[in-house]
Amino acid sequence: MVDDPKFTPSRRRFLQGAAVAGGAVATGQLAHAQAADPLITDLGEQPWSQYLGDGVDAAPYGMPSRHEAHVVRRNVPWLTADSVSSVNFTPLHEMDGIITPNGLCFERHHGGVADIAMADHRLMINGLVDNQMVFTMEDIMRFPRENRTYFLECAANSGMEWRGSQLNGCQFTHGMIHNVMYTGVPLRLLLEEAGVKTEGTWLLAEGADASGMSRSIPMEKAMDDCLVAFAMNGERLRPEQGYPVRLVVPGWEGNMWVKWLRRLEVGDAPWHHREETSKYTDLLEHGEARRFTWEMDAKSVITNPSPQAPITHGPGPTVLTGVAWSGRGTIPRVDVTIDGGINWHQARMSGPSFEKSMHRFYFEFDWDGSPMLLQSRAHDSTGYVQPTKDALREIRGENSIYHNNGIQTWAVDESGAAENVEIG
């Protein structure tokens, strides 16, 4: 069996009281301890039950338990030239439910994290509008607000896997995603305030950071469900997520969700800026490239077990879980296989099902201790079924970098260890 630091006692003492592994359960008999568990019988082993803990002034802003210090975003140093224009990854294998805690939301910056005070920020609307305008944050927060839960996925999520299995861990293969409840003003209301001229069919969104991040967005989308958001999961945006204000472009690739949003320009044609020409275009096999591939296709991944979250408990009742999402709607169904796709089972969906939001699925089964090939397959509300990686490659080749939503396979061995593999 594989060691998991989570379940290793903090004190260097063997758990005499631990039940003999799950095998007994499978036979229907109650497991028996070999000796009394000192964590129950010996008060000296339970100082938390005897001595006082921290008071209410110890952590004015609370942090996770110190026993969860391993739950962090991680980066892959070889991916980028430096850590300022780079990316780190959400630890999906350590999470549950559908909401990503603010401190674990992956980061992707092109010029580092801009440090802007709420009072120093300005949002300008210019171009083809009746009135070119400037808003302070105070102005923005006087408009009517909405609360919406959306996933944000980087178009390059799983981009390292186009040519085959590369990284061992769903954090690295699928961690360029987070799912957050935003509070913000519909972009529509700000554009109505400035008055979009009839020829204004495109919007340029621009950030205040040192990369001046800029993306062209069709006016139809801007007027539909985009938000100018200032809060995430009930608190102000984190600096690395665009404090004080970011654009929310539901279901569309994360690069368009411009952080530190400082300007919106209305125009009559797209701008074809760097992040929609040189980058975030999908090179196909024959040398031609798709542009404006905004929507994120339906996708899912099993987060547990996975390479960073092996099975440590041996055979018997096992919880398999994962997440699924679609830029086109909800996820009514996820299929799961443990034999590499010979037979599939419908997983159990649990938790709220919102449009363009992450969904949680579970599949509970009794593991017999033999090797497994785990896969999940998302179905979205439009009828789209998550394809295999080979089916994607057949259409797109291997040079796309972006929009890899192929089915992920984890191989689990007899010890419960999992590895990123491809099968055929």
Partner 1 sequence: MKTTFTLSALLLAGSASLAFAQEAPAPSRDGGYGLGRAALAEEVTAWDIDIRPDGQGLPVGSGDVWTGEELWIAQCSACHGDFGEAVGRWPVLAGGFGTLDGEDPVKTIGSYWPYLSTVWDYVHRAMPYGAAQSLENDDVYAIVAYLMYVNNLVEDDFTLSNENFLDVPLENEANFFMDDRMEVEFPVFTQEPCMENCAESIEITMRAAVLDVTPETAEDEAVVQEAAVTEEVVEEVVEEPAAAAAPDPELIAEGESTFRQCRSCHQVGEGARNAAGPMLNGIYNAQAGTREGFRYSPALVEAGEGGIVWDDAALTAYLLDPRGYIEGNRMAFRGMRDEADIPGLIAYLRAEGGE
Per CB under 8 A, contacts with partner 1 among 211-250 are 211-212, 214
Residue 243 or 294: the one with the smaller Cβ distance to partner 1 is 294
Write out the binding residues for partner 1, residues 317-336 only, by CB under 8 A.
335
CB neighbour burial string for 223-246, b if at least 16 within 10 angstroms, e if fewer: eebbbbbbbbbeeebbebbbbbbb
Residue 292 or 362: the one with the smaller Cβ distance to partner 1 is 292
Backbone angles phi and psi of 308, in degrees to 5: -90, -5
Helix (H) or strand (E) holding 188: helix 187-194
| Residue 4 interacts with partner 1 (CB under 8 A): yes or no | no
Residue 170 contacts residue 308 (beta carbons within 8 Å) = yes
Interface with partner 1 (CB under 8 A), residue from 73, 109, 151, 169: 169
Interface with partner 1 (CB under 8 A), residue from 5, 53, 55, 62: 5
Separation CA 244–CA 259 (nearest Å): 9
| Residue 422 interacts with partner 1 (CB under 8 A): yes or no | yes
Write out the binding residues for partner 1, residues 31-70 only, by CB under 8 A.
66, 69-70
Write out the binding residues for partner 1, residues 369-388 only, by CB under 8 A.
373, 377, 382-387
The binding track of 121-140 with respect to partner 1, each residue x by CB under 8 A or -, is: ---xxxx---xxxxxx--xx
| Residue 204 interacts with partner 1 (CB under 8 A): yes or no | yes
On the CB side of 13, CA atoms within 13 Å amount to 13
Write out the binding residues for partner 1, residues 143-162 only, by CB under 8 A.
143-146
- Greatest distance between any 2 Cα atoms in the chain: 80
Closest CA to 158 of 420, 423, 401: 401
Cβ at position 104, least distance to partner 1 in Å: 15
| Residue 1 interacts with partner 1 (CB under 8 A): yes or no | no
Peptide bond into 305 cis (omega under 30): yes
Residue 101 contacts residue 119 (beta carbons within 8 Å) = no
Cβ at position 373, least distance to partner 1 in Å: 6
Cβ at position 154, least distance to partner 1 in Å: 17
The binding track of 178-197 with respect to partner 1, each residue x by CB under 8 A or -, is: -------xx-xx--xx-x--
Any residues with CB less than 8 A from the CB of 351 and at least 6 apart, and which?
97, 98, 359, 360
